[in-house]
Amino acid sequence: MTVNTLKIELACNGRTLEMGPGADLDITAVSGLESSELGISTSDNALVDGVSVDGKKIGARAIHIEAKFRSGRNNPENRAAVIRFFNPKYTGKALITNMGISRNITYELEGWTFAEQRNLDTRLGIIADLMCPDPYMLNVDNFGKNMAHYTEQFHFPWHSLARRAQNKKDYPERARGLMLGGMITGYRTLHKEVVLSNDGDVPTGVQIQFVAKRGAVRNPKITNTGTGQFMRVVCGLEQGDVLLVDTDPRHQVVELNGSNYYHHIDRKSDPFQLEVGDNYLEYDADENYTNLDVNLYYRPKYLGV
């Protein structure tokens, strides 16, 4: 059964402020968790009734929070802690759990104040307004997948016999496998194509990490086979090199071993997004693609929580 509760945890500059069940602060009012402002661009034709819609844009998210301490016994300490926490110089992150669903979002402090008190002994209340430049709520998990990895089959603890079993009936089940002449301790999964499922409300970027783990590689490439869009970097990777490609529209990057390498992308490259639903991605390279490990990371985005 889902519990109808709301919890908010704000984190900023190494400090946290918790509100909701089990916390010192009780949430008394909140808005902005469900949606952001929507801007619709239109054009008017003097000969046609109505207007034409040219585009839609989701604006920055505004979150308004009102909360009150459950007790007034620690007003001096609570007042000092809240003043230290709400520092407008730093960017914060809000973790919001609403009816069992958790999402997080980055925010800037737009303004805050203490609620009006009848006297200094009454419970402290706070009123805070947060502005989220990226309006989408993010999944708390960062999903990842390695398109070329080893699957382990041998692990400890490992049971062995004092001598090799001669008859299958005499062979203990816990040591089964020792009757074989040899055994595979692991195998490499080498799928050039993988399916990434985006269960969010809108498309999201993907972070691709090419690792030259087994030797040199030339010009790695990854393609969204559903749309034909691809990202290809013209470079030679030596063993141990790590090439990072991030297609998030808010911070697209291409880095080789931590250094900017964006100017080496193929001019026909298109930083693709993962559409809502299943996305089929395929990697390759001009030379030695089998030397690569390809790690994929993405976070679904939601309109609210």
229 inside domain = yes
**Rounded to the nearest 5°, which phi and psi values hold at 144?**
-145, 155
> Do 198 and 102 share a structural domain?
no
> Do 226 and 296 share a structural domain?
yes
Structurally, how many domains does the chain consist of? 2
> Do 211 and 115 share a structural domain?
no
177 inside domain = no
Range of the domain at 72: 6-40+53-135
What does pTM read for this prediction? Answer: 0.79
Tens-digit pLDDT profile for residues 11-42: 999 999 999 999 999 999 999 999 888 889 99
Asked whether the beta carbons of 59 and 36 are under 8 A apart, the reply is: yes
255 inside domain = yes
> Do 205 and 110 share a structural domain?
no
167 inside domain = no
183 band by pLDDT with thresholds 50, 70 and 90: very low
Asked whether the beta carbons of 108 and 131 are under 8 A apart, the reply is: yes
**What residues contact 13, with CB distance under 8 A and at least 6 apart?**
87, 90, 92
Please classify residue 126 by burial: count the beta carbons closer than 10 Å to its beta carbon, then call 0-12 exposed, 13-18 middle and 19+ buried: buried
> Do 294 and 209 share a structural domain?
yes
Whole-number Å distance between alpha carbons of 189 and 94:
38
Tens-digit pLDDT profile for residues 90-134: 999 999 999 999 999 999 999 999 998 888 778 999 999 999 999
CB atoms within 10 A of CB 291: 19
> Do 225 and 115 share a structural domain?
no
**What residues contact 107, with CB distance under 8 A and at least 6 apart?**
10, 63, 91, 92, 93, 94, 130, 131, 132
